[in-house]
Homo-oligomer: A and B are copies of this chain.
Amino acid sequence: MTLDSGAEARQAPAPKPSGKLHHHIGSFEPELGGYLPEVVLAYETWGELDHAGENAVLIVHALTGDSHAAGDPSADYKRGGWWDPMIGPGRTIDTDNDFVICSNVLGGCSGSTGPASTNPETGRPYGIGFPIITIRDMVRAQKRLLDDLGVKRLKLVIGGSIGGQQALEWAVEFPGFVERAAPVAATGALGPQGIAMSEIGRRAIMADPDWQDGDYYGTGRTPGAGLAIARMAGMVTYQSAAGQWERFGRRSAKRPALHTEIGGRFEVESYLHYQGRELAGRFDANSYLYLSRAMDLYDVAAGYDSLDEAYSRIEADTLFTGISSDWLFPAVEVRAAAEAARTAGANARYVEIESNNGHDAFLKDWAKLRGAVGPFLGDQEENG
């Protein structure tokens, strides 16, 4: 290809994004029990699948994310796609060449089947009658979607946080299907401090009388106060002490108060109140319970005789990305996961992003993220 023809290719209109689509994958048996007679996954795509079905890139979202990974700001998505700076024509994940897919996870509340969905057997929402969903279940459901779309092989699966857990699980569960896996800010098993923070959030939701044992749909009341507190607890795990000193320090809040005060408000409190309210306005509290639980429960070694056996299954080139100030999945634990995978024989590397943005760096530090992930993709191209 000459430079000219390359320039022409870039000037050609990029394939249109799909917008949000819904796909029925049929019935589903979660690994820990229960049965879902009918599962729908909401998803979006960018770019075009090649004839061999081998240019697909799967983007996997985090706890409160959705299928809208890429796109400019719009009426429906005021901030645009949640990973837009990483995805597009000529970007790290290049929709000129790649068929990019992102689906809302099983158990979610942004179009895929979850606790707020109607149970066809009762005609009412599942609530906490929804079965426990694991990271492996999410991956297995995604696999059914990809099969139906004609994807034969994943060029790359990438995501952060519980998206990173899924990226890792993809490499373990479907080794022949995954060429490259890039878990970001995730390990094979969350530590007890992270579990503790998850549970503080769940307790806040379940202690909210509007939760009504999970059966709040249609009552006109939702456990927004509890969910907002859960979000506050989550946000603490997504940021770092140093980052909060930089961003908030001990400054007083300027925004209007949302809650009763005992001795004024610090900026960091006000920020968390607003973050809590924002999530409570857009997310289903039961979904929060199930998805946060999936994060806690994930153990890459589950179902295998050892951690080594699990990691030895990986055939994909795997890049673990840690974040220096990550509280939820500490960099030292991400590095250890990479080492365990390598010890087990996987082609696994580790790269670390230096940032004060904590866990959330994978949604903020775009240049650093490109710097970490780009060479992994580029190197592979050269070698492949």
Contact = CB atoms under 8 A, between A and B. Distances in A.
A261 to B, nearest CB: 9
A148 interface: no
A206 interface: yes
A77 interface: no
A28 interface: no
A236 B234 CA distance: 13
Interface string A181-225: 000000001111101110110111011110001000000000001
A239 B235 CA distance: 19
Given A262-B290, A269-B196, A250 B203 contact: no
A189 B229 contact: no
A63 interface: no
Contacts of A195: 250, 266, 268-269
Q: Chain A, interface size: which category?
A: 35 or more
Nearest to A134: B263
A236 B200 contact: yes
Contacts of A206: 259-260
A116 B191 CA distance: 38
A241 interface: yes
A347 interface: no
Interface of A: 32, 128, 132, 189-193, 195-197, 199-200, 202-204, 206-209, 213, 225-226, 228-229, 232-233, 235-236, 239-241, 244-245, 247-250, 259-260, 262-264, 266-269, 272-273, 276, 289-290, 293, 296-297, 299, 330
Q: Which 6 A-B pairs have the closest CB atoms?
A: A192-B244, A192-B268, A132-B263, A192-B248, A207-B225, A199-B269
